[in-house]
Structure 1
């Protein structure tokens, strides 16, 4: 009987599951116990719709699984059961939504596959059609080629047959007169077996061994064959090629010039004029350097003769080598010609500079330049005249470029306006504006009076010798004082009409529009007094107001036509660049066919970005334009190289020594237009002093490229982008190489940042502050320390960390630091005035009683550029 007999097994209610558990006790005893476990069964009834047949609401009577506690799983409350049912319903709804979404996506994918399949089929169909067309065209060309070859072969065969027939018809050569007649085989007649007489014999009496005599007809054929020349050769060779057949029966004949030369020689021989003709003397144009073969060509002499003459002079040259003008002139004189010296600058003679006739001149619109100080309302005034709103698009509220516009006044008069920037950095841009203008409108704010850039504008206008009109702007402000403006202008020799002068002045307001008609009337009146005229029926010439590199259109130049008419298709040269007018765009963005005098246009079609201020001239041919541009580029390079080279060795050494002591901040500048680039470079060159300066390694127009990043990496320089950005390749390259990219839209910010960066290169200023004096009373010799001075601080304080100077008879004999500072036996940091102490100098022993020690402190002060 087991231990479990008669005992109820341990277990839980429900379906039993038996098992045994072994229990261990002390002293090695153990006991096995039978255990039955009962697994809990959870029954989740299927959810039925509320109010449906055979079911009820989950919150209704006791017939539902949720409301019936007997049917609900044990240990689950009604709320928990409701939550589980809701979760099941939501999961089922989500499954349905996912299934619908998957079905929709599958339909979309199937439609996309079908669309791609149709596109591929259409493309393959087009490719098959294209291949079939190409194949048909190739077959057609091949068939035409075969027909042409067959026709040529037929013609050659016909010519060959004609030639062979002619050869067959020609008689045999006659026998030699003085030699024996050769034995000739006599043909026999097959029927009789007797000898048959040869053709040409007169009868049976003819001798068989003699050649027959020629008839008159055969003699004529012989003379004809001799006249043909080439036919004799063809007959003698007995071989006819296709080339010979196509060349004709007679072969290549003499030219008409050769026949004339033959006749002239015969006539001269008949007249007894066999002597050599007199040599023709030529005027040979001689540049600074010339190739030997070109020199021979200009003299109409053989190159070998010219080389021989150079060898006689001791110059071992070939016909492809270059010689100087002096040597070439000697050669020209030796050959009996005249040398005409020319220079490379003569290529610019292609530019037409003929004076216009008075009857060809026509009235043109005046060119008016708006000038003035920053924020005095120049662009706003021009906007009010143009009914535009340019000022809102300007960075920082200032004009960064020169703008060219054309407006029509109320009286019908057309006026061309130039809007120049007012910042001091744009001095050169304003100078260009003054040199292409007819009238200057000086804008002065009534609440600010005359400012530095206003004075500069007055100077430019006087230098250009153009009339001036003063526009007193911002008259609508309560702080406006136009009389003060007129009085201030007197200091600069500008006397307005209100003060009995000859300069017109108009009070205007760009905000309210007051005085604008009077201003336009004053401009029209001044233009009538100037009597401005130009000839529109000639080659155009003009000035480049602004130039930039557009991403989509390439190099674009804003040109103000000054004379003639610029048309689409004209070939022009502008500075060191040239091009053909591809398109002309006016100030309203409309493409036009031509631009007359005083019309500002954007010109497309240049081979590069010109400099602002260059002159545009129309030439006849593209070769002339290219030659002039190359000459100007070479001249500019030579001039730059000559300006940068030191004339003497002493100057070179002095410059190297000066550069060694000067710290440089290298930068690379890229801007949107040429005028801004020039202004920024000029402003950066003024930053610095005798110790530090800014060096512009490279400047250009357009976006920042990978080559700019490479240059910046090699020179450790930042890249300054003014209204431009780096492209994707340049950005990634700069991030990899650690090149700094700085973007600006206002020139003030750019200059301020560069000044701060350049200030960091300045050495700090060291200032000394004297803090005390001490007098040596006695000198003690201490082993291991050296000489120690027994001192008393007579003034100020003595510090261990301060610098010291040793004065003997008021003469500095040593400057250094203290090795020790003691008060009695203790090391101290400082000793006050009137206190005795001991001092020892660092690495200096020559101290004597009566010497004075000067104690001072140094302070470093950071310096900045003004």
Structure 2
């Protein structure tokens, strides 16, 4: 509706009103905020009958219809008025509820303020009482000490004869009186403290008697009784011996010293600052130990340990190593007990745990198939896989895994172990891993027992495991199984057919004959052995094979012997350690855990272990690192001992071999000894067989002129870790062209050194094959020699490329081309399908049907990883 119609639209009317609202916050804080409110225009209906009667005078009118918006009926108007009244009622109820909630919140805040004030008041009163008590105890102790000092001075004066007997007696009486007063119970201070607590809130409260007033009165009395001093307290005349013994003219305690003493007394009264009773510890002492580590194991300060060693005449720092005998003396001096341990004791955490009988559960047998390679061992393994693996999964088994599982006809699992060679098996047995439960000896029925068969029998007997003889190739016409059984008697292997206890099965890997009987014999032998293991303990297994995968890093194939290996376990294997990042089954599928007799691939090692190493799961990463470091050091010591007895010729040969290794010389200066040693150890690991980092010198402190001179003479760079070169060293380095690099993060330092050492690596030469050509005819040309008439069969032939001459797929020559012609013209390249003439540089033994391989060499710059 518009104003031209004579009706006003509904809406908010009136000017906004301003006012103030008081906001309340926590801890009694309030804030006044200015707000503006706008009044809402409300249409109030008139009373019935006030506006006259409606049509016919029978129905009451709800207001003036002329002032009502168009299209609004009486019923609609009544509904709107009812809704308006209900809204007003709800607003009134909400206002009352908010007022009640605000009142309750205000009461809660007031109650909390009162509680906080009461608590703070109680804390202040308690602190004041403790302070008064500490001051009183301090005053009593000071008076007793002064009395004792006065008595001692009097006795000394009496001995020297410089004082009279009467003065000595008078001072002794004064000392006794002071001591008596000091030993009396301090009842007055406590009473004063109680009265102070009771009357703290009043304005007219009476303050307790302060000990400072008593101290001032006593000082006044002492000042009046002094002899030889004026009214101002200054000493007059000469300082005599008796005056010095009396304490006159001596130094007085400073205000800071008095405050420190009061603070110490207050801490003592509150129970703080008391020295804990010294504990005697059992300190594990290896053959050598660092001073800081010794102090840590004794729970003593490193500075105190260094001081004790210096008293013994050893000028050492906390980062230096001392022997066990010296360390034992230090331990005894500090009141502890030394317990001698060996470095090998770190391996005690992986000692075999005694398994309880109720925890043992049956496990699948581990079978190793041995024998002469020509007797069909590999064929027998393939036949077993084809027999027991679904045809669709036959190609899914990873061939390079040395162990896998198959399921027999009766549903039992069997773990087969493939040992490619006797050396690996012997090494595995020598480590006591007890990997194999049953040995299947494969003997060909047509060849009978061979020398390597005898060697396999010896390995099986050394391992003390039962054997099953599999007589293979029984399908051949020349097969004679009885001859095999007879010849085995010569090596103390008596089969059941000869009234012995060794099972024998006639099989054929080609036809599949007897494979089921072989699996049944293995299951029967496993049942006799009653193979059991504890799957709930920490896992232990043996490494079957290990390799370094380009995409996955070091990978080890492990056959779990005891316990369960799970994802996330921390383990140590040989000289390496790691955390299980992933487990893969023999089919290449990821698994979360592997129980006893289950072969898996383990990812997550920090290096490649050796085949035959034992894997043990430990609790913490620190234990794994410690054990691996000990084993690595023991191996280094063993190699060093083996190489100690070298001859002069061997040393010369080694020096000649080292001459081919490129070196990057550096000087290291750091802020502390620990940082310099850590940097040197990290730099020693940078490099490979072709390049290495050589640390000429390392030390602690700023870079000096001598460091610059050494770097100039050796062509080395200077590395400063949290240190800088002084002014003279900087100018000398600029004049002599010595590079100085500053670092504050060791990782940046190592990365830069790796980049610098990578520049010393020789570029890798890579060959790219670009074509093949076949010699069709050979022509003899005077002045040039033999020329091959060739047809380029693949790719392209280039004049600048390298060539190889292949005869019956065997390389008989490698060199370069002397000429490349096409239709008597020298050309740069000839494409596939075209004929050309080729002549080799300084080589003429070429024949028809020989193949020429054309390739190009490409240099690729390498870098250290």
Relative to the length of structure 2, the TM-score reads: 0.44
Relative to the length of structure 1, the TM-score reads: 0.44
- Rg larger in structure: 1
